[in-house]
Amino acid sequence: MSVMNWIKQQTTNMQTEIGKFRNKDMMEGIVAGCALVSYADGSASSAEKQKMLGFIKQSETLKVFETDDVIKTFEKYIGKFEFDHGIGRGEALAAIVKMKNKPDQAQLLVRVCIAIGSSDGNFDEQERQAVTTICHELGLNPKNFDL
């Protein structure tokens, strides 16, 4: 490998790491929101997990994260719900609320959560209520999302 190629590779690696650092809260918030909505009916379906992974892979700001890291984060939140629903809910909302002062990211989080709730073909009342709670935590009007 030439010196120039090595420098380019190191620059690319650095930019990827900076992107991960800058967007970690966003990834955590979206994954926590997905876990909250997925677990609203008592279990997280594989369709919901696949929909979340698909979004992360397509998102320009989030695709810097390894799939394994996203899955581990999702499983971390689901594990908290399985241990105690109240603890899981509190932990998820704590990650979500970090986007409260970032309206574009907050709205994106809500839209992703709606898509996750609908991914199994049924956006049921518990999932709607979970997304409504997310809206309230973020200072967004649920009616703007047809909730």
Q: Write the pLDDT tens digit of every residue in 69-80.
A: 888 999 999 999
* Nearest Cα to Cα of residue 89 among 100, 78, 99: 78
Residue 89 confidence (pLDDT) above 90: yes
Q: Considering the chain, what is the average pLDDT of its residues?
A: 85
Give mean pLDDT, residues 81-87.
94
25-145 folds as: TerB-like (1.10.3680)
Give mean pLDDT, residues 90-94.
98
* Nearest Cα to Cα of residue 67 among 35, 31, 33: 31
| 3-state SS class at 120 | coil
- pLDDT for res 18: 43
Residue 57 confidence (pLDDT) above 60: yes
Residue entry with tokens 């991914």: 119
- Separation of alpha carbons 25 and 110, rounded Å: 15
- Give the CA diameter of the chain: 59
Q: Tokens in use for 54?
A: 């698909």
The string of DSSP letters for 33-92 reads HHHHHHGGGTS--HHHHHHHHHHHHH-TTTTTS-HHHHHHHHHHHHHHHHH-HHHHHHHH
Bigger pLDDT: 129 vs 16:
129
Encode pLDDT of 96-140 as tens digits.
999 999 998 899 899 989 988 888 778 889 999 999 999 999 999
- pLDDT for res 9: 60
Q: What are the sequence ranges of the domains in the chain?
A: 25-145
